[in-house]
Amino acid sequence: MLAAPVTDLKAHLAALFESALEAVAPEARGTAVTLDRPKQASHGDYACNLAMQLSRQLRRNPREIAAAIIDHLPPSPHVARAEIAGAGFINLFLQPAAKRDVVRRIFAAGDRYGHSTLGQDRRVQVEFVSANPTGPLHVGHGRGAAYGSALASLLAAAGFNVTREFYVNDAGRQMDILALSAWLRYLQAHGESVAFPDDGYRGDYVRDIGAQLAGAHGDRLVRPAAILSVPVVGAAADAALDVLIAAAKAGLGEDWWTVHRFALDAMLADQRNDLGEFGVHYDVWSSEQSLHTGGAVERAVQRLHDAGHLYRQDGALWFRSTTFGDEKDRVVRRDNGAYTYFASDIAYHAEKFDRGFDIVIDVWGADHHGYIARVKGALQALGYDPARLEIALVQFAVLFRGGEKVAMGKRSGDFVTLRELREEVGNDAARFFYVLRKSDQHLDFDLDLAKSQSNDNPVYYIQYAHARVCSVLQGWGGNEADLADAALDCLDSAAEMQLLQLLIDYPETIEAAARDFAPHAVAFHLKDIAAAFHSWYNGTRFLVDEPAVRDARLALALATRNVLRTGLTLLGVTAPDKM
């Protein structure tokens, strides 16, 4: 008679140890039981260090404690034996049937295999990319997009109620520079002779916006070039840019906002389209400008003032961020009365928590590391728990082609866009390569490898495993649903046991990846599953004459395919049936 399957094998094994501990050392009840996967198969399927944990507390040799625990482990149809190893580790060896059970669990769970209730439906906001709408998304934004999207999917799979959000930085000087740049290109499109500032946005996309502006408004926005007759080059170029902006605002009057809105809408439309084609979608697009017009920034600064966390110096209003661990105090309102970007960021984060999120996750570029203390400090000053704000840092991605680094820069327009990367290597390779490393580690993106159809290309390697299963099932031609009833007893080879164990480990990998904000862990686990499958496939005939053996092997192959598909989907990568 077959043992009843368990839905959570590790929880079952942990309960066995807890029962044994109650008998061996009741005074130590409640000690956490940790089960790890040994690196070598000869050391069993799981290892427990409970005896070593308790050695000091019980004042006994850990091997003696381990022996006592083994003696008191309740019998389990899923455990073949337990052994003492090393200084006092307890190694557990599972019954083969316990591993085979995972095939049925995968079939029963379908696309939800690996999902958990870790999050307990807590509300989580993941804000990612949030690029300034002053140019097309580049490959650096692409890594944040792939990471943030995968993280949000993992959190949802782990039982969190996830909201994906993009914060539009549509206020401030950088938007004025974009509006000015677009208007100057508009004037040039109308034959006006105007100099273009060194620090303007110079990419071809700005010429395109200028041409679109001309098409939409004709010559209605043309003004005499004389209003822009100010120096725009040399050491004072940056200051001259502000003079140009002021002149444009004065010359255009209310039409300045027509240009400003047109340029903003054009760039936002481009970014939305780019992200959508990349498989990255948002539930909310939040506007920085709305925080100003709606009074949220003013209210947040007033709250800080009323709580005694602000002071005046040199005409500006300063937040005492050093009180909360920052390296220096920060300006929230300049001497000219304008609020800083930090002030709007304070208001934005306060508004996030006021919307009822239990946890807020910001995905930032690693160059914003120094910003963490001041934002958390401001939240604490406003009475929020700063621990509820999590910051995930993403290092820049560096492209290599032919072994040579691909240069990037922004205002000049000399940069590689996300769209160009996607066109060169495809969405799947881009999404997978972006999350193949821990987010706070530098990423060297090998374009040639990403395009290669070889086992050295990890995304190709995993997708090929999926396609191989589809090919085998197509060659069989039967009804996949019938495999749910296949007898699995003949699955007993070392290769099959290894593959089964990796499928067992998959839910734990998903949960740990969600908890640690680590999509790369899923990428590596899928790679391990693919490697185990390829090894098994290369040494195994599937469509054999004996129906029981054939169906058992096909069932394991189908379970493998399903896990590869769901895992790739979480990472935003497709699972092709043919390659």
The enclosing domain of 43 has a CATH number of: 3.30.1360.70
By CB atoms closer than 10 A (0-12, 13-18, 19+), residue 19 is middle
Give the strand order in the sheet containing 35-36: 35-36, 46-48, 89-94, 79-85
CB 84 within 8 A of CB 63: yes
Element housing 536 (H / E): helix 519-538
Residues ≥6 apart with Cβ < 8 Å to 108: none
Give the end of a domain, one of 269, 303, 330. Answer: 269
Give residue for tokens 């083969």. Answer: 96
The CA distances from residue 576 to 277, 452, 470, 527, 535, in Å, are: 18, 16, 9, 16, 20
Q: Is residue 254 part of a domain?
A: yes
State the pLDDT at residue 349. 98
Residue 408 tokens, joined: 């990037």
**Sign of the Cα pseudo-torsion (407, 411, 413, 419, in order):** positive
In degrees rounded to 5, what are phi and psi of residue 344?
-70, -30
How crowded is the C-beta side of 214, counted as CA atoms within 13 Å?
17
Instruction: With respect to residue 357, please indicate whether it lies within any of the assigned structural domains.
Output: no
Domain assignment present for residue 139? The answer is no
What 3-state DSSP class applies to 405?
Answer: strand
CA–CA gap between residue 485 and residue 481 (Å, rounded): 8
Assign residue 478 the CATH number of its domain: 1.10.730.10
Domain that holds residue 238: 173-269
The confidence score (pLDDT) of residue 379 equals 98
Q: Are residues 83 and 180 in the same domain?
A: no
**Does 22 map to a domain?**
yes
My answer on whether 87 and 177 are in the same domain is no
Whether 399 is covered by a domain: the verdict is no
> What is the C-alpha end-to-end distance of the chain, expressed in Å?
42
Reported as a single tens digit per residue, the pLDDT across 288-327 is 999 999 999 999 999 999 999 999 999 999 999 999 999 9
What length does the chain have? 579
Angle made by CA atoms 397, 401, 403, in degrees to the nearest 5? 100
How do residues 194-234 score in pLDDT, each as one tens digit? 888 888 998 899 999 999 999 999 999 999 877 777 555 55
Number of domains in the chain: 3
Statement to judge: residues 462 and 551 lie in one domain: yes
Separation CA 296–CA 289 (nearest Å): 10
Q: Please state the φ and ψ torsions of residue 163, each to the nearest 5 degrees.
A: -115, 125
| Domain termination residue (choose one: 44, 62, 94) | 94
Instruction: Tell me, yes or no, whether 99 lies in a domain.
Output: no
Q: Which of 94, 113, 137 is the last residue of a domain?
A: 94
CA distance 99 to 78: 8
pLDDT score for 410: 45
In a domain, 491, yes or no: yes
Secondary structure letter of residue 381 according to DSSP: H
CA distance 300 to 306: 10
State the CB neighbour count (10 A cutoff) for residue 396. 15
Identify whether the C-beta of residue 486 lies closer than 8 Å to the C-beta of residue 554: yes
3-state secondary structure (DSSP) of residue 390: strand
Distance of alpha carbon 579 from alpha carbon 465, whole angstroms: 10
Strands 359-365 and 389-394: parallel
> Is 421 part of any domain?
no
428 residue type, one letter = D
The segments of the chain whose pLDDT lies below 70 read 1-7, 230-238, 408-414
Per-position DSSP letters for 19-51, written without gaps between them: HHHHHH-GGGTTPPP-EE--SSGGG-SEEE-HH
User: Dihedral sign, CA of 429, 431, 432, 433?
Assistant: positive
| pLDDT at 4 (0 to 100) | 40
Q: Which helix (H) or strand (E) holds 178?
A: helix 173-189
> Kind of pairing, strands 89-94 and 330-333?
unpaired
Please report the beta strands in 128-283, taking only residues with DSSP state E, as ranges in sequence order.
161-168
* CB contact at 8 A, 429 and 421: no
Write out the DSSP string of 105-166: HHHHHGGGTT---TTTT-EEEEE-----TTS--BHHHHHHHHHHHHHHHHHHHTT-EEEEEE
Smallest CA-to-CA distance from 224 within 196, 194, 254, 197 is with: 194
Gyration radius from the chain CA atoms: 30
Query: Could you tell me which residues come within 8 angstroms of residue 486 by beta carbon, excluding any fewer than 6 positions away?
Result: 548, 551, 552, 554, 555
By CB atoms closer than 10 A (0-12, 13-18, 19+), residue 226 is: exposed
